[in-house]
Amino acid sequence: MAEKKIRTIAILTSGGDAPGMNAVIRAVVRAGIKNGLNVKGIERGYAGLLNEEIVDFSTESVKNIIERGGTMLYTARCAEMMHTSGQKRAAEILKDHEIDALVVAGGDGSFRGAETLAANGVKVIGVPCTIDLDIGSTDYTIGFDTAVNTAMEAVDKIRDTSTSHERCSIIEVMGRSAGYLALWCGIASGAEEILLPELYDGDEQAIIDRITESRQKGKKQFILINAEGVGHSASMARRIEAATGIDTRATILGYMQRGGSPTCRDRVCASVMGDMAVQLLLNGKYNRVVSLKDGSYTDFDIHEAASMTKELDEELIRIPYALKR
């Protein structure tokens, strides 16, 4: 039997928001409509899909959003999509609304949701959006550049006051169980120490020794970037202060890293990937995730993508040590 022609597509944003999600929505809506498709938006991710929170889009609906952080479609984490009953119902709702394909903008959890929909006969495309940069199938995830720049600027400010007071500062950045944000932010801000969940062995005494040594060398401040996956920044600060006698403060940057106007890199990547999602569907390719690999935009089968893992870049790990005073 001939494949049913795709006439109507929908887009949702899911999981933690990422700067650039709006640019993805804009690209999918504009590319879809220009190519003769109806485009709908599903609000509040999979939770909104299960509540049938579905809106019609025109090219006008997405004006003035490319520069805005957050997501105009709102987002949510949805426990029901973990269960087969929720997954089946979501697929049925899409069918009832005559939605022929769904674009999911989100992180790996959102892609897992998309995979279950694919298993229930829905045509899906995933667009990688997360500040964590932790999706195995792609070298870049939309939102990372904005978030890491936000974190870097915050660290620059903390360094000023840390130097004035000759303190040690522990600054915790997001990233869930991945250390990419911490590593990039740490290199970019010239941090004295970077703790990554992939590598940290829990040897706090070694850190204390390095802080003491650095103070003896006359360094006025000590900036330690701690990844969320290592955590415990406040108690670590108390222990370091007690052991070194150096005033130590902890700052958890938190959700500020997820907000703000997306950088040029995120807007461009989102525009390219959003357009790619539509082109894939128009070319009869579905159950794919779009990706930036080795400098080129490409796409992978969604199941194959799920099994791909990502290691921290060895060369980047080496840099903070190579550039130490």
Report the residue number, 69 or 107, with the smaller CB distance to ligand F6P: 107
The amino acid at residue 295 is: G
Q: Both tokens of residue 325?
A: 């005073």
Choose, by CB under 6 A, the member of 123, 159, 176, 288 that binds ligand F6P: 176
Q: How far is the CB of 22 from ligand F6P (least distance, A)?
A: 17
Q: How far is the CB of 231 from ligand F6P (least distance, A)?
A: 10
Q: b or e along 62-83 (b: 16 or more beta carbons within 10 Å of the residue's beta carbon)? A: beebbebbbbbbbbbbbeebee
Residues 190-229 that bind ligand F6P (CB under 6 A): 228
| Backbone CA torsion sign across 173, 177, 181, 187 | positive
14 binds ligand F6P (CB under 6 A): no
Report the residue number, 100 or 108, with the smaller CB distance to ligand F6P: 108
Of residues 17, 100, 108, 132, which has the active-site annotation?
Answer: 132
Choose, by CB under 6 A, the member of 167, 258, 267, 288 that binds ligand F6P: 258
Residue 266 appears among annotated catalytic residues: no
For residue 184, give the H/E element and its range.
helix 180-188
Residues 116-175 that bind ligand F6P (CB under 6 A): 130-132, 174-175
Q: How far is the CB of 38 from ligand F6P (least distance, A)?
A: 31
Q: How far is the CB of 85 from ligand F6P (least distance, A)?
A: 23
Q: What are phi and psi of 194, to 5 degrees?
A: -130, 125
Q: Both tokens of residue 121?
A: 């006969």
CA distance 190 to 320: 8
Q: How far is the CB of 321 from ligand F6P (least distance, A)?
A: 25
Size of the site for ligand F6P (CB under 6 A): 11
Residues 260-319 that bind ligand F6P (CB under 6 A): none
The amino acid at residue 309 is: T
Please give the C-alpha separations between residue 38 and each of 6, 56, 89, 164, 278, in angstroms, as whole numbers.
9, 8, 22, 58, 12
CA distance 176 to 137: 18
Active site residues: 132
Q: Which residues bind ligand F6P (CB under 6 A)?
A: 16, 77, 107, 130-132, 174-176, 228, 258
